């Protein structure tokens, strides 16, 4: 499983969940199964439900009677659990990062390190691919994606070059895209430019922000009083949404007040500040460097 993906801040996750041996928990992002295995070690007669829409993750399912794997997007969390007779849980964990397996599997198109089809689908059965976004979206839509999801400074130029490039030849592969955007790719340290661009495409293809919003809203309804919500984010867009929700209990971040002016929120912070990986962990797993763990307890 470590070949598939190294679980990030695994001890911090388990500590933040404060697992009850007979409790019911959700791992919203199974991936390589590392977090799930650690949760199962803390359970006695409890139950763990794990979600992942990537069929490759099914290979990491634990052969344990306490474990239930649901091959679906976590935005359908409540619906799937209700179908299985589960209406409330003691904890929810979500690691929002792309797995090392997905990055390293060249044909999936998640990384600019490989010459592959522009795919980027977490769910291989989904319709929308990165190639369809690149070849069918308008200049305005492309600019919005690059700006909103990647905060790319060259959003307008990138969209303009793509429109011009696809008019001459369909942009099918990562190399096709590289050639089209070469004029604005920095000569020194181009990695950040491409990482940001690919991030924005991946978020659009998989509807990641909409799915995260659905997960957060459903977590409030599913968690028992005293239940914990633990989320690991990797970029500022999703971290702002998580931070705002945990502070206020709603996506917009609106905090209501009672008659006396006291803030009314459904959560209590588990820690005073965000948790980040130790220097030792970053050295062992460089992909953990941008991770931020936030945890709250439902009142």
pTM recorded for the entire structure = 0.93
Q: How far is CA 208 from CA 47, 74, 211, 246, in A?
A: 27, 10, 5, 18
Helix (H) or strand (E) holding 228: strand 223-233
Please tell me whether residues 212 and 294 are part of one structural domain.
yes
- Cα distance between residue 55 and residue 225, in whole Å: 33
Please tell me whether residues 80 and 130 are part of one structural domain.
no
Among 160, 176, 206, which residue terminates a domain?
206
> Whole domain around residue 89: which residue ranges?
10-95+208-298
What is the pLDDT confidence band of residue 106, given thresholds at 50, 70 and 90?
low
Among 206, 222, 241, which residue terminates a domain?
206
pLDDT tens profile 194-223: 989 999 999 999 999 999 999 999 999 999
Residue 112 lies inside a defined structural domain of this protein: no
Residue 234, strand partner residues: none
Which segment of 9-23, 64-78, 93-107 scores lowest on mean pLDDT?
Answer: 93-107
Please tell me whether residues 255 and 184 are part of one structural domain.
no
Residue 114 lies inside a defined structural domain of this protein: no
Residue 103 lies inside a defined structural domain of this protein: no
> Pick from 57, 204, 215, 5: which is nearest to 120 by CA?
204
Please tell me whether residues 219 and 194 are part of one structural domain.
no
Report helix, strand or coil for 268: strand
Residue 250 lies inside a defined structural domain of this protein: yes
What is the pLDDT confidence band of residue 4, given thresholds at 50, 70 and 90?
low
pLDDT surpasses 60 at 1:
no
pLDDT tens profile 128-170: 999 999 999 999 999 999 999 999 999 999 999 999 999 999 9
Please tell me whether residues 220 and 279 are part of one structural domain.
yes
* CA 135 to chain CA centroid, nearest Å: 25
Please tell me whether residues 243 and 269 are part of one structural domain.
yes
Residue 160 maps to which CATH number? 1.10.150.170
Residue 220 lies inside a defined structural domain of this protein: yes
Instruction: Give the number of domains in the chain.
Output: 2
For the residues of 25-56, what is the DSSP string, one character each? EEES--TTSHHHHHHHHH-SS-EEEEE-S-GG
Residue 110 lies inside a defined structural domain of this protein: no
Residue 105 lies inside a defined structural domain of this protein: no
Average pLDDT over residues 13-39: 95
Residue 100 lies inside a defined structural domain of this protein: no
């Amino acid at each position: 499983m470590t070949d598939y993906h190294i679980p990030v801040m695994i001890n911090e996750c388990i500590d933040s969940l404060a697992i009850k041996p007979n409790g019911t928990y959700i791992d919203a992002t199974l991936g390589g199964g590392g977090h799930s295995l650690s949760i199962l070690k803390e359970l006695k007669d409890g139950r763990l439900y794990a979600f992942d829409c990537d069929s490759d993750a099914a290979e990491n399912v634990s052969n344990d009677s306490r474990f239930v794997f649901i091959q679906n997007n976590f935005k359908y969390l409540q619906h799937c659990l209700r179908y299985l007779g589960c209406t409330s849980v003691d904890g929810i964990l979500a690691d929002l990062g792309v797995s090392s397996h997905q990055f390293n599997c060249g044909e999936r198109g998640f990384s600019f390190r490989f010459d592959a089809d522009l795919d980027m689908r977490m769910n291989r059965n989904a319709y929308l691919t990165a190639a369809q976004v690149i070849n069918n979206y308008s200049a305005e839509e492309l600019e919005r994606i690059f700006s909103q999801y990647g905060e790319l400074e060259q959003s307008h130029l990138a969209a303009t070059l793509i429109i011009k490039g696809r008019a001459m030849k369909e942009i099918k592969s990562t190399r096709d895209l590289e050639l089209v955007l070469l004029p604005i790719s920095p000569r020194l340290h181009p990695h950040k430019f491409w990482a940001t661009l690919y991030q924005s495409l991946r978020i659009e293809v998989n509807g990641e922000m909409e799915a995260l919003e659905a997960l957060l809203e459903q977590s409030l309804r599913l968690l028992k009083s005293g239940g914990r919500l633990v989320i690991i984010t990797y970029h500022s867009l999703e971290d702002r949404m998580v931070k705002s929700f945990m502070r206020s209990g709603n996506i917009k971040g609106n905090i209501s007040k009672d008659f006396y002016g006291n803030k009314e929120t459904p959560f209590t912070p588990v820690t005073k500040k965000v948790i980040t990986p130790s220097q030792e962990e970053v050295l062992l797993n460089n992909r953990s460097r941008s991770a931020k763990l936030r945890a709250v307890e439902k009142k």
